[in-house]
Amino acid sequence: MPLTDAACRNAKSSEKPRKMSDGGGLFLVVQPTGSKLWRQQYRFQGKFKLLSHGAYPSVTLLEARKKRDDAKALLARNIDPSDHQKSAKRQARIAAVNTFEAVAKEWFENKERGWSPAYSTRLWRRLKADIIPKIGNRPISEIDPAEVLEAIRKIEKRNAVVLAGRLLQVCGQIFRYAVATQRAKSDPTRDLRGALRSRGPAQHRSALKAAELGPFLRSLAEYPGDEQTALALRLVVHTMVRTGEARFAVWSEFELDGKVPLWRIPAKRMKMRNEHVVPLTPQVLDLLGELKKLAGNSRFVLPSATKESVISQNTLIYALYRLGYHSRATVHGFRGTASTILNEHGFNRDWIERQLAHAERNEVRSAYNSAEWLSDRRRMLEWWSNYLDAAEAGSEPLMFESAA
């Protein structure tokens, strides 16, 4: 006779385990301790076997019957329900370990060595802030496109459209890594192409025009703030380096003695992970001399009492604001200004691109010695420093006869 819920609920324990049958192989075992366990007996390939369906009342009578019927359906397909159950539990354990956050950390650690510290720190911070709180604890094999899109939409709502697109690309790389390491079957971001808001027209970082350089440099000469900040801005303008490359510069990178002074920026601090050699002009040597007086015994060229022990990421841009150049210029924009002026004066494009430490899209051409075109770039930078001096003085800069 089939069981009722009341019979299951009121079943009393005894000195020995006792079975209460529900039919179809399903029965409830009442243990001497009072616990009640669902079991199902079945035959597979001529052998009697036992299957566990959990404990009552956590698993109700109706739920236990459903499990029994599912087991019978597997038997009809010649599948052992016990093996199937073990496989399902094993997959559940694997899924619990292989969450999006766990796989993302593994992917990040594999890639981190090829990135600059600043980029890797920024990337992981973005993932932790915008993606991991939404889908980090989900098994990566179970995440669908709608879940990813929901996380990205929250970023878009902040009008951070560019960031949303970049993080979607990063998520795609993580999912493809999961596929390659057999933790996922597919990359759900593939189905989100065209789903994001348009970025709109490209927004280039503000850069001064040639005619604006003179007034800017004269304003910088009267900068009312910290002297180190003004010197740092001049260093960036004269050397065409990125802000981060200047901020974290240490004195041991500079070869200041001899006829060919150089600044060797190690690969680990470069965006493209290649050593970058910067020829130093007389004007830059003077700047470094002043900065050395301010730095004292610090190993950093631009030391400061910050968490990173160097001037903050915003120090230079805030200096531009203070000089009245908010929305008119950015620190990175000086690289564009230099590139435009040098190109207009006929300098070899390869010299300029190498001085900017840009990546070469052609893989064959990208393999280069860090000192490539060094003598040519030295002459180019000497002309550039002289051009800046002339612009600040309000005089006409000399043409460079060998620029073509």
Give the pLDDT of residue 397.
67
310: DSSP letter: B
What crossing angle do the helices spanning 333-344 and 374-393 adopt, rounded to 10°? 100
Give the pLDDT of residue 217.
94
- Three-state SS annotation for 320-357: HHHCCCCCCCCCCHHHHHHHHHHHHCCCCHHHHHHHCC
Mean pLDDT of all residues belonging to the chain = 87
Query: Do residues 84 and 109 share a domain?
Result: no
Q: What is the pLDDT of residues 297-322, one digit of tens each?
A: 999 999 998 888 999 888 999 999 99
d(CA 242, CA 239): 9
Q: What is the pLDDT of residues 349-390, one digit of tens each?
A: 989 989 888 755 444 344 445 566 888 999 999 999 999 999
d(CA 138, CA 98): 8
Query: Do residues 313 and 178 share a domain?
Result: no
Residue 127 pLDDT > 50: yes
CA 108-114-117 angle, to 5 degrees, is 75
Query: Do residues 165 and 220 share a domain?
Result: no
d(CA 31, CA 130): 50
Query: Do residues 105 and 88 share a domain?
Result: no
Give 399's pLDDT tier (boundaries 50, 70, 90).
low
CATH no. for residue 326?
1.10.443.10
For residue 108, what are its two tokens? 């990040």
CATH no. for residue 184?
1.10.150.130
Give the pLDDT of residue 362.
43
Query: Do residues 355 and 332 share a domain?
Result: yes
Q: What is the pLDDT of residues 6-16, one digit of tens each?
A: 999 999 999 99
* Mean pLDDT value across residues 57-86: 92
Query: Do residues 271 and 336 share a domain?
Result: yes
* % residues pLDDT > 70 (the chain): 91
Query: Do residues 173 and 320 share a domain?
Result: no
Give the pLDDT of residue 367.
43
Query: Do residues 262 and 371 share a domain?
Result: yes
Give the pLDDT of residue 85.
87
Query: Do residues 247 and 384 share a domain?
Result: yes
pTM: 0.53
What letter represents residue 147's amino acid?
A: E
Give 95's pLDDT tier (boundaries 50, 70, 90).
low
Asked whether 268 and 253 are in contact (CB, 8 A), the reply is no
Residue 134 pLDDT > 90: yes
Host domain of residue 351: 210-393
Residues 6+ apart with CB under 8 A from 232: 246, 247, 291, 302, 311, 315, 316
- Choosing from 71, 92, 113, the residue where a domain stops is 92
Alpha helices in 184-302 (DSSP H): 210-221, 227-239, 243-247, 282-295
Asked whether 20 and 30 are in contact (CB, 8 A), the reply is yes
CA distance readout (Å), 168 to 117, 159, 171, 228: 21, 15, 5, 39
Asked whether 168 and 148 are in contact (CB, 8 A), the reply is yes
d(CA 101, CA 140): 8
Asked whether 248 and 265 are in contact (CB, 8 A), the reply is no
Query: Do residues 271 and 352 share a domain?
Result: yes
Positions marked catalytic: 242, 271, 332, 335, 358, 368
300: DSSP letter: B
Give the pLDDT of residue 231.
95
Give the pLDDT of residue 371.
60
Report the chain's C-alpha Rg in angstroms: 34
Give the pLDDT of residue 363.
42
Number of folded domains in the chain? 3
Give 40's pLDDT tier (boundaries 50, 70, 90).
very high
In a domain, residue 311? The reply is: yes
Q: What is the pLDDT of residues 250-268, one digit of tens each?
A: 999 999 987 889 999 888 8
3-state secondary structure of 359: coil
In a domain, residue 197? The reply is: no
Give the pLDDT of residue 370.
53
